Amino acid sequence: MNLYPRLDQNGLGDYYFSFGIKKEFAKKCFEKEITEEGYNNFQDLGRKMFTKVFGNDEHNPLFDYDYPYRFFGNSKGNNTCLIRNLTVPGNACGLDVNINDDMEKALDRVNEYENFIKYHSHNIDSTSQCYAFLSLLTTWEETIDCVLNAPKK
């Protein structure tokens, strides 16, 4: 598993939910560009999952956005497979990485004793939102792990 729960965070708005991505996996994700088709497929999977978890109400303002997954861009301006942000229905409910500069450099600076990239939650107020984040994360991790470890032709 390339994801792990973080138990060091317990504050307002996190509902005991935070996670990290192993540095080695994060580097591989950052080095691999995501295709436009792959990007769109992730967004579709996320929206379908939201309907299952939160119901289908087209007038619900929680569904005013179309992009549950956001990915880091590389120096060429292309999206990579590494998640920058996840968003689920709620009041600005999200998971973000707190790295604001060049991700490639930041990956090299991760402390060897903290061999992971930390993601921080904000405005998680329910178990449904936690479940939605967990679903987004596991779908992403399983899919990208298969892509990165696909047999070479």
- Residue 34's pLDDT is 97
Q: Model pTM?
A: 0.85
Spans of the chain below 70 pLDDT: 1, 3-16, 57-65, 100-101, 110-113
- Residue 101's pLDDT is 63
- Residue 151's pLDDT is 85
Q: In what order do the strands lie in the sheet with 19-22?
A: 3-5, 19-22, 116-122, 93-97, 79-88, 69-73
- Residue 76's pLDDT is 92
Q: Give every CB contact of residue 34 below 8 A, 6+ residues apart in sequence.
A: 42, 71, 79, 80, 81
